[in-house]
Amino acid sequence: MFAYILYTVVTGLAILPLLLYARNPYFLRDLNYAITAIQIAIRVGKFKRQKPFYSVLDSFLDKVAKQPDKRFILFEESSYTYSQADKESNKVARALSTHAQLKEGDTVALFLGNEPQFVWMWLALAKLGCIASLLNNNIRSKSLLHCFSCCEAKVLVIGAELRGAVEEVLPTLKQQDVRVFILSDDCDVEGIENLSDKIQQASDQPLSPQLRANIHIKSPALYIYTSGTTGLPKAAVINHERLWMASFLQWVAGVRSDDIIYIYLPLYHSAGFLMGLCGAIDKGITVVLRRKFSATHFWNDCRKYNVTVIQYIGEIMRYLCNSPKRDNDRDHKVRLAVGNGIRADTWAEFLQRFGDIRICECYGATEGNVGFVNYIGKIGAIGKEHFLHKMGYSYALIRYDTEKEEPVKDSRGFCIEVPRGETGLLVAKIGERTPFSGYAKNRQQTEKKKLRDVFVKGDLYFNSGDLLKIDNEGFIFFQDRIGDTFRWKGENVATTEVADLLLMVDCIEEANVYGVKVPGHEGRIGMAALKLKESMDFDSKATYRHVKNHLPSYARPRFVRIQDALAVTGTFKQTKVKLAEEGFNPAVVTNPLFYLEDNKGYVPMTQEIFSSIEEGRIRL
């Protein structure tokens, strides 16, 4: 009898997960995710209470003590262990503290490419309790000065190859009393100080933790620039808590301590720096660092360095799928890909071609206070809702009017949550656990990302600017991005920044910049509707010269449309939605159209060019 009861109980228990599983095929993975999320919450709680606060730097120093000889950074033909990286950064910290007189809380702007020095530099600044401002190394002139001044840095450290870009703005920097250091030992430009020799001469002895004793979890750690909505790039304030949260993504994605991660995305963005580098430090793994993405070298690098984890953005996955097929396409050790923006068709093709790689698609903005992870691996989804999510933070998809470009309000003036399966604008409540730190020295843009009185009087939400859809199983799908930014080649393009630049061309009176969809491409490519000054013609040469000199290639308007008058809304906002829908098909658009041909300039758009683009014979 007893045996029988025991038997029933045991089988009953054994069947229970099966029953649950039948009702929810994702039960085990949901559970696993829940456990990880709870572990993370416990860990962050501990960091907060710990005095002094435990930072990513402390995590690095623990790895140095525990595994000094493990390889930390592999770069080209060089290899650096954790211990070597520690010593290198001690030297940098000493050189900077002596020659730039840095002290805790100071900000230093880094204008560097992806190279080991970038990592030493940041570790060094963290050791001194300083904040690093990570400048995008593609920006020039006005944008560069703007980005530099928004973080109130008094010191700028530049890579040797970026000397020309800095020389251009040096007079202005000097007026502002900025010290400029170059990672070189033979730069003879007046006003730029050699740093490499000073680093070489510095001692590699550890620095006292006293130097950073006042840093706490809410102190700013970094500035990362985003072109969130409008105007020039904005410096998102990344505090230590945020640094930690982004680093944990590798944990959620299932990165193990014996993994080797390949980082080729720029370190000045959050994907490369926070999720890639900081995540790797916390896991104590080896990082293969590359200056720049290259489709031809990608898999060779993975084979050469035994890479097991890669990061991606959607565009990269497509480049990889578009590269010529090879016999050894499946000959690699990559088992996990973490990133965001992969389209469903590319995802399927990628798996089919390159083998069984787990793809962990995530969603989140650098400055945002909400994020999702598709820990199931469901093709096409950017995340999955989890009951812990709803407990942890409060977010909603609200109805949005794309024509008027504003949320739809009900009769009482509040926003309306969309039902499941419908597209809505993602907003997330700003609160103690889900803060929005905003942008440095830019109150106006910070305010613009906030929505008030969303569901009740006095509430406050972060406006993600993204239109999403959630299905019945809780999978979240990206639909579109609204407003004044679009994404092209993985970079955000701020339409007003481009428009402001176009206005500097002599013949242009008004400019309306927007993104248009191109078949077979993620994101949108830039297009500008222009109104010319009276009795002037479109000066294609001058426009091309100007655009080429001042904008990175991904931000240059690829198509130009000349209009007699630019359409505006009732509140005089330029309308972009209709223009974007009309696109660049000369059969549809009756205005004069121009196309930016590589290395040539703006040429009149023809039906033939249009067909070539549509059929993929011209690559944009």
Ligand X SMILES: *[C@@H]1O[C@H](CO)[C@@H](O)[C@H](O)[C@H]1NC(C)=O
Comparison of 187 and 498: residue with beta carbon closer to ligand X: 187
Task: Tell the smallest beta-carbon distance from residue 286 to ligand X (Å).
Answer: 8
Comparison of 193 and 539: residue with beta carbon closer to ligand X: 193
Say if residues 350 and 357 touch (Cβ distance below 8 Å).
Answer: yes
Q: How far is CA 303 from the centre of its chain?
A: 26
Alpha carbons 93 and 59: distance in angstroms, whole number = 18
Task: Tell the smallest beta-carbon distance from residue 158 to ligand X (Å).
Answer: 13
Comparison of 193 and 582: residue with beta carbon closer to ligand X: 193
Q: Tell me which residues in 299-338 interact with ligand X (CB under 6 A).
A: 305-306
Comparison of 192 and 360: residue with beta carbon closer to ligand X: 192
Task: Tell the smallest beta-carbon distance from residue 191 to ligand X (Å).
Answer: 8
Alpha carbons 302 and 294: distance in angstroms, whole number = 12
Task: Tell the smallest beta-carbon distance from residue 204 to ligand X (Å).
Answer: 22
Task: Tell the smallest beta-carbon distance from residue 170 to ligand X (Å).
Answer: 13
Residue recorded with tokens 């499946």: 330
In the numeric block, which tokens belong to residue 508? 């242009």
Task: Tell the smallest beta-carbon distance from residue 118 to ligand X (Å).
Answer: 21
Task: Tell the smallest beta-carbon distance from residue 79 to ligand X (Å).
Answer: 8
Contact track, ligand X, 192-231, x by CB under 6 A: -xx-------------------------------------
Q: Find all residues with CB under 8 Å of 425, minimum gap 6, and list them.
A: 397, 398, 399, 400, 407, 463, 464, 465, 466, 467, 468, 482
Task: Tell the smallest beta-carbon distance from residue 71 to ligand X (Å).
Answer: 8
Strands 371-374 and 383-384: what pairing? unpaired
Alpha carbons 266 and 272: distance in angstroms, whole number = 6
Comparison of 193 and 473: residue with beta carbon closer to ligand X: 193
Task: Tell the smallest beta-carbon distance from residue 188 to ligand X (Å).
Answer: 4
Comparison of 185 and 403: residue with beta carbon closer to ligand X: 185
| DSSP for 73-106, written as a single string | EEETTEEEEHHHHHHHHHHHHHHHHHHS---TT-
Alpha carbons 316 and 436: distance in angstroms, whole number = 29
Contact track, ligand X, 166-195, x by CB under 6 A: -------------------xxxx----xx-
Strands 423-429 and 406-407: what pairing? unpaired
In the numeric block, which tokens belong to residue 383? 């995340």
Question: 301 φ, ψ to 5°?
Answer: -60, -45
Strands 400-401 and 395-398: what pairing? unpaired
Q: Could you say whether residue 442 binds ligand X (CB under 6 A)? A: no
Angle at 400 between CA 395 and CA 403, to 5 degrees: 155
Comparison of 187 and 470: residue with beta carbon closer to ligand X: 187
Say if residues 523 and 515 touch (Cβ distance below 8 Å).
Answer: yes
Q: How many residues bind ligand X (CB under 6 A)?
A: 8
Question: 215 φ, ψ to 5°?
Answer: -75, 130
Comparison of 158 and 605: residue with beta carbon closer to ligand X: 158
Task: Tell the smallest beta-carbon distance from residue 304 to ligand X (Å).
Answer: 6
Comparison of 191 and 616: residue with beta carbon closer to ligand X: 191
Comparison of 93 and 160: residue with beta carbon closer to ligand X: 160
Say if residues 312 and 342 touch (Cβ distance below 8 Å).
Answer: yes
Beta bridge partners of residue 309, listed in sequence order? 261, 336
Comparison of 185 and 422: residue with beta carbon closer to ligand X: 185
Task: Tell the smallest beta-carbon distance from residue 324 to ligand X (Å).
Answer: 25
Task: Tell the smallest beta-carbon distance from residue 288 to ligand X (Å).
Answer: 9
Compute how many other C-beta atoms are within 10 angstroms of the C-beta atom of residue 105. Answer: 14
Q: Tell me which residues in 503-532 interact with ligand X (CB under 6 A).
A: none
Question: 85 φ, ψ to 5°?
Answer: -60, -40
Alpha carbons 300 and 309: distance in angstroms, whole number = 14
Alpha carbons 290 and 204: distance in angstroms, whole number = 26
Longest C-alpha distance within the chain, in Å? 101
Task: Tell the smallest beta-carbon distance from residue 200 to ligand X (Å).
Answer: 13
Comparison of 67 and 306: residue with beta carbon closer to ligand X: 306
Comparison of 30 and 301: residue with beta carbon closer to ligand X: 301
Among 516, 528, 518, 524, smallest CA distance to 488 is for: 524
For 373, the enclosing helix (H) or strand (E) is strand 371-374
| DSSP for 389-410, written as a single string | HHHH--EEEE-EETTTTEE-B-
- Show the beta-strand stretches assigned E in 57-185: 71-75, 78-81, 107-111, 131-134, 155-159, 179-183
Comparison of 92 and 252: residue with beta carbon closer to ligand X: 92
Task: Tell the smallest beta-carbon distance from residue 78 to ligand X (Å).
Answer: 12
Say if residues 532 and 540 touch (Cβ distance below 8 Å).
Answer: no
Q: How far apart are the first and last CA of the chain?
A: 75
Alpha carbons 169 and 261: distance in angstroms, whole number = 36
Residues that bind ligand X (CB under 6 A): 185-188, 193-194, 305-306
